[in-house]
A and B are shown apart, each in its own frame.
Chain A
């Protein structure tokens, strides 16, 4: 084998298979089937499927080096394999035996008495000629010598006697292998084309999305003509997408935390993971703050949540007091001080929620009062000033809606932070996992419900 290596150093860019065999020998671990390369004088197994990019295979049998390439899967190696170089030095790098290649190419090469049958290599420049005629080794050799376009290839003399036997079988093998290689080439081509078109489509979509964002137009619904709505719709869409990304990242962080807890990681490292999740929660509150300023009704609607989550939503998000109730038993064992802290936290978050809820009710009532003022129904006069006045008041009241949503999010954020303060690192890690699992279940429930069979 080392002769290969020595030879390879002097190879030119001739598309000869010696290089691939060199490659194979060097990188055998990647191709388990190439173990046979280690064994000289291994017979060529024609039954083995050969899928060599560019769908060429070769078999080298020589007195010195019997290199057999079977089941060469070169998907990863692409055309570099095609550019096989057979180089031999005087030390007999390749005492060429039979070089059998898929059809399609004439590979001019002087292989000593290398009996080159077919050289199929789509990466080769000289692709045009010669497919399946090369049964007669001797004549082929002469023919192919004319097609030489590549650098010098020196191969030692081959043992001719070995080539004569089994010609019939050889022919069949050759044909089969040619066919297999051709098919795999076509498959590869189709696959690559598909990849290319997908990639093209992806960049197109990305560009479209970018443009749509910049122009503030709807891309999903057909409301592109309505610029009044499009800005809000854009904000809603933007939030939905950011939230989706946040969820993915959150899941990733939670998974890291879970494996850390299960592997009994030390507190110092666990602390870092917990802090990362907490910081990530801060990020979602920041996103919600931006979203609220841009489109308060969208945030309130909860359309960015799954249906089941939406059902339990309170003022645009989760209910802190409920979360603490869920955590309940999962936090044990708690010290007395911790227990009191958690109880106080539950009580204070409940009180804050009640206060905000009552404020919201007052807001609703006040809006109803404003909109149902005197000039409604059949008695409504064309008093535009009154109407506009009432509308202005109503608009002012709506503005406080943003404030309520903002306070609710602050409440949620502060509850989480206080919980983090009260608990130990390990308890906090467990708590975060419990919370995440609970919301995951709600989401899963939504999916199941949506997909349920209806009779």
Chain B
């Protein structure tokens, strides 16, 4: 598992522009096969990471508390998911899968592995 932190050369204005943030989220999400937005202090995020590692998948993790624009992205993700918990959020092949419950449900009903294979995250 490798972590990828984002660093920006310039300071963005504080008035958050949701569309920009969302665009950034989507852009990041499509850059890797499996993308997890997380918080380093969140234990459920830890569980999601362990789940993918246990399957032999190498997810790209963005710790939003270590990102300058993390707060905005958290808010954007909250809007996207429609609940109070921004993280963890999983994207596979650029597509939004959801939070822990959706990931687990997908794994149990057998749809997760095909998705992972399709995205190129799993070979076997």
Q: Bound pair: A and B?
A: yes
Do the beta carbons of B110 and A410 come within 8 Å of each other? Answer: no
Asked whether any CB of chain B lies closer than 8 Å to the CB of A355, the reply is: yes
Do the beta carbons of A352 and B104 come within 8 Å of each other? Answer: yes
Asked whether any CB of chain B lies closer than 8 Å to the CB of A411, the reply is: yes
Do the beta carbons of A348 and B41 come within 8 Å of each other? Answer: no
Do the beta carbons of B46 and A358 come within 8 Å of each other? Answer: yes
Flag the segment in A62-70, A130-138, A397-405 that touches B: A397-405
With beta carbons under 8 angstroms apart, the residue of A356, A359, A362, A410 that contacts B105 is A410
Asked whether any CB of chain B lies closer than 8 Å to the CB of A345, the reply is: yes
Bound form: Cα–Cα A148–B1 in Å: 104
CB distance from A373 to the nearest CB of B (A): 14
In chain A, positions 345-377 with a C-beta closer than 8 Å to chain B are 345, 348-349, 351-352, 354-356, 358-360, 362-363, 366
> How many residue pairs bridge A and B at CB < 8 Å?
73
A366-B43, A404-B44 as given contacts; A355 in contact with B54, CB under 8 Å: yes
With beta carbons under 8 angstroms apart, the residue of B43, B109, B112 that contacts A359 is B43
In chain A, positions 381-402 with a C-beta closer than 8 Å to chain B are 397, 400
CB distance from B60 to the nearest CB of A (A): 18
A410-B104, A414-B104, A414-B105 as given contacts; A359 in contact with B110, CB under 8 Å: no
CB distance from B100 to the nearest CB of A (A): 6
In the complex, residue of chain A having the shortest beta-carbon distance to the beta carbon of B55:
A351
A348-B107, A414-B108, A415-B108 as given contacts; A356 in contact with B41, CB under 8 Å: no
CB distance from B54 to the nearest CB of A (A): 5
Asked whether any CB of chain A lies closer than 8 Å to the CB of B64, the reply is: no
CB distance from A71 to the nearest CB of B (A): 67
Do the beta carbons of A397 and B110 come within 8 Å of each other? Answer: no
Dominant SS among interface residues on chain B: helix
CB distance from B75 to the nearest CB of A (A): 18
Given contact pairs A341-B110, A348-B108, A418-B108, a sample of 6 additional A-B residue pairs in the complex whose CB atoms are under 8 Å apart: A345-B108, A348-B107, A348-B110, A403-B100, A406-B101, A414-B105
Residues of A within 8 A of B (CB): 341, 344-345, 348-349, 351-352, 354-356, 358-360, 362-363, 366, 397, 400, 403-404, 406-407, 410-411, 414-415, 418, 421
- Chain B residues within an 8 Å CB radius of A362: 43, 46-47
Asked whether any CB of chain A lies closer than 8 Å to the CB of B77, the reply is: no
Bound form: Cα–Cα A344–B50 in Å: 18
The 25 listed contacts between A and B (C-beta, < 8 Å) are A344-B110, A345-B108, A345-B110, A348-B107, A351-B51, A351-B54, A351-B55, A351-B107, A352-B104, A352-B107, A354-B54, A355-B47, A358-B47, A359-B43, A360-B43, A362-B46, A366-B41, A400-B42, A404-B43, A404-B44, A404-B47, A414-B105, A414-B108, A415-B108, A418-B110
Do the beta carbons of B43 and A407 come within 8 Å of each other? Answer: no
In chain B, positions 21-75 with a C-beta closer than 8 Å to chain A are 41-44, 46-48, 50-51, 54-55
Bound form: Cα–Cα A362–B104 in Å: 19
Bound form: Cα–Cα A90–B71 in Å: 105
A359-B43, A359-B46, A362-B43 as given contacts; A411 in contact with B54, CB under 8 Å: no
- Chain A residues within an 8 Å CB radius of B112: 348
CB distance from A97 to the nearest CB of B (A): 83
A352-B51, A354-B50, A407-B100 as given contacts; A363 in contact with B43, CB under 8 Å: yes
Bound form: Cα–Cα A359–B87 in Å: 14
In the complex, residue of chain A having the shortest beta-carbon distance to the beta carbon of B100:
A407
Bound form: Cα–Cα A187–B60 in Å: 83
A397-B43, A410-B101 as given contacts; A355 in contact with B48, CB under 8 Å: yes
- Chain B residues within an 8 Å CB radius of A403: 44, 85, 100
Do the beta carbons of A400 and B44 come within 8 Å of each other? Answer: yes
Identify the interface centre among A348, A414, A418, A421: most chain B CB within 10 Å of its CB: A348
- Chain B residues within an 8 Å CB radius of A418: 108-110
- Chain B residues within an 8 Å CB radius of A421: 109
Do the beta carbons of B108 and A352 come within 8 Å of each other? Answer: yes
A366-B41, A410-B101 as given contacts; A356 in contact with B47, CB under 8 Å: yes
Bound form: Cα–Cα A415–B110 in Å: 11
With beta carbons under 8 angstroms apart, the residue of A341, A348, A358, A397 that contacts B50 is A358
